[in-house]
């Protein structure tokens, strides 16, 4: 696990850009998209505040890649709407403000690594040559190597170099860690935390490697069955749940609060919504990120959650969209 990104004092640039940062990075209302007659995403409402690292998690086929492709403007919704940095997704003005790394990492195989970086520099008016080269050099890639000869993890590095070199306001990363070894994953997460701390960049990263997100993300989107089941500030979401342990014969819990119940021998472990209080027979503690996510993923049909903070704060939506 990586340590939390260090807090920094607000710079003059931060103060000037405060009104811009107040605009959410992503804001969806009733968002839906059909694929071959079936809903890949449906009835999705969520907000990702600017300047955060938001983890989009869920099983394979949940709709994570579809959501990021919509945010990148590569797909158009069939229902509802999605605003990106205050503009409709896909608006021409977003091209220079958004960087996207797709799961298949499409690159030109005939170009060398150096030629690929040069292309990035020529296509982007604001380019961080030093930062892009640093990511490539961390992987000990030869600049003369052709992209088509690289391994999956090496191509991922080149794709990330292009995305981070662009110095975009919003960075969309679809399963960037799937091809990387543990050291490279650690380096990537450290780089993302630095980018957010230094530039105020918003990062939206999808992953099914749950431990890699712990200690890195500060905002959560849980997607399952094409719907957003949980969304909001990570600390608020975790504070809004409890992991209870007690005897199997212990007091009953309201079913609408129960996310998952597991029994081992004479003991039961129950993930519930709400902070209590609960009967004295239960030992109560705050769940960790992995415990929370696995509880929801193992119980796709659990009851719909009640409101998290009782208010209408779109930045802290603590709500389940039952699949």
Q: Do 73 and 175 fall into the same domain?
A: yes
323 belongs to a structural domain? no
Sequence-separated contacts (24+) of 39-44 with Cβ below 8 Å: 39/226, 40/66, 40/226, 41/66, 41/67, 41/70, 41/223, 41/226, 41/227, 42/79, 42/226, 42/227, 43/79, 43/80, 43/227, 43/321, 44/80, 44/227, 44/228, 44/321
Q: Which residues of 79-90 are buried (b: 16+ CB within 10 A; e: fewer)?
A: ebebbbbbeebb
79 belongs to a structural domain? yes
End of a domain among 213, 233, 253? 233
Q: Do 215 and 240 fall into the same domain?
A: no
- Domain, as residue range, for 244: 235-303
Q: Do 150 and 278 fall into the same domain?
A: no
154 belongs to a structural domain? yes
CATH of the domain at 187: 3.40.50.300
End of a domain among 233, 250, 273? 233
Q: Do 53 and 174 fall into the same domain?
A: yes
What's the pLDDT score for residue 20? 53
21 belongs to a structural domain? no
Q: Do 205 and 262 fall into the same domain?
A: no
3-state DSSP helix/strand/coil percent for the chain, to nearest 5? 30, 25, 40
Beta strands 53-57 and 202-207, pairing class: parallel
What's the pLDDT score for residue 212? 80
What's the pLDDT score for residue 307? 34
> For residue range 81-106, what is the model confidence (pLDDT) as tens digits?
999 999 999 999 999 999 999 998 89
> For residue range 256-305, what is the model confidence (pLDDT) as tens digits?
889 999 998 888 999 999 877 788 788 889 999 999 999 999 988 764 44
Q: What is the number of domains present in the chain? A: 2
Q: Do 224 and 266 fall into the same domain?
A: no
5 belongs to a structural domain? no
Q: Do 43 and 30 fall into the same domain?
A: yes
What's the pLDDT score for residue 256? 85
41 belongs to a structural domain? yes
Q: Do 56 and 151 fall into the same domain?
A: yes
Q: What are phi and psi of 211, to 5 degrees?
A: -60, -25
Q: Do 146 and 97 fall into the same domain?
A: yes
pTM (2 d.p.): 0.85
183 belongs to a structural domain? yes
CB contact at 8 A, 69 and 26: no
Residue ranges of the chain whose pLDDT lies below 50: 1-17, 19, 303-323
End of a domain among 201, 233, 265? 233
Q: Do 244 and 296 fall into the same domain?
A: yes
């Amino acid at each position: 696990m990586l340590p939390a990104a260090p807090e920094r004092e607000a710079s003059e640039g931060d103060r000037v850009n405060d009104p811009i940062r107040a605009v959410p990075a992503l804001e969806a209302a009733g968002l839906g998209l059909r694929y071959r007659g079936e809903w890949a995403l449906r009835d999705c409402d969520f907000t990702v505040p600017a300047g955060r690292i938001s983890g989009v998690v869920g099983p394979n086929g949940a709709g994570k890649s579809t959501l990021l492709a919509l945010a990148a403007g590569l797909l158009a919704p069939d229902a509802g709407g999605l605003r990106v940095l205050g503009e409709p997704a896909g608006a021409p003005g977003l091209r220079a403000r958004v960087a996207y790394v797709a799961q298949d990492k499409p690159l030109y195989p005939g170009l060398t690594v150096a030629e690929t970086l040069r292309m990035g520099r020529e296509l982007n008016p604001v380019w961080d040559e030093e930062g892009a080269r640093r990511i490539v050099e961390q992987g000990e890639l030869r600049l003369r190597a052709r992209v088509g000869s690289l391994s999956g993890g090496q191509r991922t590095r080149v794709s990330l170099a292009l995305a981070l070199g662009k110095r975009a306001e919003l960075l969309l990363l679809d399963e960037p860690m799937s091809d990387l070894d543990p050291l490279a994953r650690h380096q990537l997460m450290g780089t993302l935390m630095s980018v957010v701390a230094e530039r105020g960049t918003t990062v939206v990263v999808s992953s099914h490697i749950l431990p890699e997100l712990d200690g890195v993300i500060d905002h959560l989107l849980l997607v399952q069955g094409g719907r957003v089941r949980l969304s909001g500030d990570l600390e608020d979401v975790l504070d809004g749940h409890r992991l209870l342990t007690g005897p199997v014969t212990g007091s009953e819990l309201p079913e609408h609060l129960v996310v998952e119940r597991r029994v081992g021998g004479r003991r039961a472990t129950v993930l519930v919504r709400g902070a209590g209080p609960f009967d004295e027979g239960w030992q109560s503690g705050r769940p960790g990120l992995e415990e929370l996510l696995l509880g929801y993923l193992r119980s796709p049909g659990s009851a719909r959650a009640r409101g998290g903070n009782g208010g209408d704060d779109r930045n802290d939506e603590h709500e389940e969209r039952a699949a």
